[in-house]
């Protein structure tokens, strides 16, 4: 493995930065092309990249610990490797073919030759599964050759070894002697399987990567509802403390709405905090949707927050009799913000979300309702 330049795909915690292989934002919001047609049109490099992120993001349930994209000159017939146990060489192999028609024996005999040669020579172990992927699928005629442990496939490969397979394999081809012939006869071709294009699309549709490569229009960018916890959690600490400071400034004495929730004197503050928390979580929904749909280096929620921060800037600099009055004034101003229609997340943002963004900014201490001495 050390002699190969492998691209390690890290666990998905944030979507990747934009690459030349991903659709532009403008193309992502188009819905005038079907997913299958999009798959037909992508180039070979993009297809291999897509298969790699699919193998990691969608097939983690298979028990993979690492996924690598190898596909390059000298890859020895390995486009994508998905490891169960890399130390012990236990893996699945994914062979990607971006052809304009269904794959036939003629298209695949060279790949079968590489599989046989490199496992025969112990260049790499026999994979647990050898998956073939092509946007136009694999022909039934080739699938039929795999029946009965690949009996017919073995016959054809050996018959064609000296005249056809050698040209497909290239410089690393070896002559068919008795040992190799016996190895081919005993080889378990049940490991060779195809992945149907529709199955491939359906599975990657469940991952955060689908929108990057297939688009699908604005309807692909959705808010998933978040339940507001009855008791505030740690991620809310800063903005709630800033609101308590504002409430205390207004009341003339220290107020902690959470600790004093049964105190009737804090009722109006409690009602405000309840509304603020709902807005905070609604904006959090948009933040999550944005980060699933736009790359970190062009995260639209960050752009939205910065734009709203500028929009309310003059009001933030005004003088107020107390912090709570300032909060309400800023919330009112933020609620009038008009989201640019060019933003992919524009259809997710309403006045409540804009108010929630204020509390997001406060949570980052970019907004303070009162300035302490």
Tell me the two tokens of residue 252: 């003339």
Calculate the CA 181 to chain-centre distance.
44
Q: Which residue has the tokens 């201490």?
A: 365
> Which of 153, 133, 143 minimizes the C-alpha distance to 71?
133
Torsion angle, CA of 54/57/61/65, rounded to 10 degrees?
A: 100
Dist. CA 243–CA 225, nearest whole Å: 24
Contact 74, 86 (CB under 8 A): no
Q: Please list the helix, strand and coil fractions of the chain in percent, rounded to the nearest 5, in that order.
A: 55, 10, 40
| pLDDT band at residue 264 under the 50/70/90 scheme | low
What is the number of residues in the chain? Answer: 373
- Residues whose CB falls within 8 Å of the CB of residue 263, separated by 6 or more in sequence, listed in order: none
Give residue-wise pLDDT tens across range 213-263.
886 655 567 788 999 999 999 999 999 999 999 999 999 999 999 887 666
Contact 304, 282 (CB under 8 A): no
Phi and psi based region of residue 350 (left: phi greater than 0; alpha: psi -120 to 50; beta: remaining): beta
pTM for this structure? 0.61
pLDDT at 12: 31
Give residue-wise pLDDT tens across range 52-78.
888 888 887 788 988 888 866 567 878
Taking only Cα atoms into account, the Rg of the chain, rounded to an integer number of angstroms, comes to 29
| CB burial of residue 177 (10 Å; 0-12, 13-18, 19+) | exposed
Average pLDDT of the residues in 85-92: 92
pLDDT at 270: 93
Dist. CA 183–CA 172, nearest whole Å: 17
Q: What is the mean pLDDT of the chain?
A: 86
Dist. CA 129–CA 91, nearest whole Å: 8
Contact 58, 204 (CB under 8 A): yes
Give residue-wise pLDDT tens across range 301-325.
999 999 999 999 999 999 999 999 9
Give residue-wise pLDDT tens across range 153-195.
999 999 999 999 999 998 888 999 999 999 999 999 999 999 9
Phi and psi based region of residue 170 (left: phi greater than 0; alpha: psi -120 to 50; beta: remaining): left
List, as one string, the DSSP characters of 43-82.
Answer: -HHHHHHHHHHHHHHH-GGGT-SEEEE--STT-TT-SEEE
Contact 209, 54 (CB under 8 A): yes
| pLDDT band at residue 351 under the 50/70/90 scheme | very high
């Amino acid at each position: 493995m050390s002699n190969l330049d492998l691209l390690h795909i890290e666990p998905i915690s944030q979507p990747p930065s934009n690459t030349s292989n991903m659709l532009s934002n403008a193309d992502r919001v188009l819905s005038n092309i079907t997913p299958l047609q999009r798959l037909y049109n992508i180039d070979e490099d993009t297809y291999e990249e897509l298969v790699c992120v699919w193998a990691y993001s969608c097939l983690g349930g298979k028990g993979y610990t690492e996924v690598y994209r190898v596909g390059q000159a000298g890859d020895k017939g390995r486009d994508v490797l998905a490891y169960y146990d890399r130390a012990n060489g236990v893996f699945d192999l994914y062979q990607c073919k971006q052809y304009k028609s269904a794959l036939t024996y003629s298209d695949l005999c060279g790949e079968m030759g590489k599989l046989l040669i490199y496992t025969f020579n112990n260049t790499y172990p026999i994979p647990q599964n050898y998956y073939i992927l092509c946007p136009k699928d694999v022909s039934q005629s080739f699938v039929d050759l795999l029946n009965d442990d690949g009996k017919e496939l073995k016959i054809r490969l050996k018959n064609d070894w000296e005249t056809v397979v050698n040209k497909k394999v290239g410089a690393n081809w070896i002559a068919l002697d008795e040992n190799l012939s016996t190895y081919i006869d005993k080889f378990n071709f049940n490991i060779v399987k195809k992945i149907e294009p529709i199955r491939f699309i359906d599975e990657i549709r469940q991952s955060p990567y689908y929108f990057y490569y297939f688009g699908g229009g604005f309807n692909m960018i959705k808010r998933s509802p978040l339940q507001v916890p009855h008791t505030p959690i740690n991620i809310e600490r800063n903005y709630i403390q800033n609101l308590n400071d504002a409430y205390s400034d207004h009341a003339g004495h220290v107020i902690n709405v959470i600790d004093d929730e049964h105190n009737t004197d804090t009722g109006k503050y409690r009602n405000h905090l309840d509304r603020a928390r709902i807005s905070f979580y609604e904006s959090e929904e948009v933040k999550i949707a944005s980060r699933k749909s736009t790359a970190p280096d062009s995260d639209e929620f960050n752009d939205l927050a910065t734009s709203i921060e500028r929009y309310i800037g003059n009001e933030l600099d005004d003088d107020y009799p107390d912090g709570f009055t300032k909060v309400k004034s800023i919330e009112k101003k933020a609620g009038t913000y008009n989201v640019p229609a060019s933003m992919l997340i524009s259809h997710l943002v309403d006045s409540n979300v804009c108010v929630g963004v204020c509390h997001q900014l406060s949570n980052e201490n970019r907004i303070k309702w009162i300035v302490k001495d």
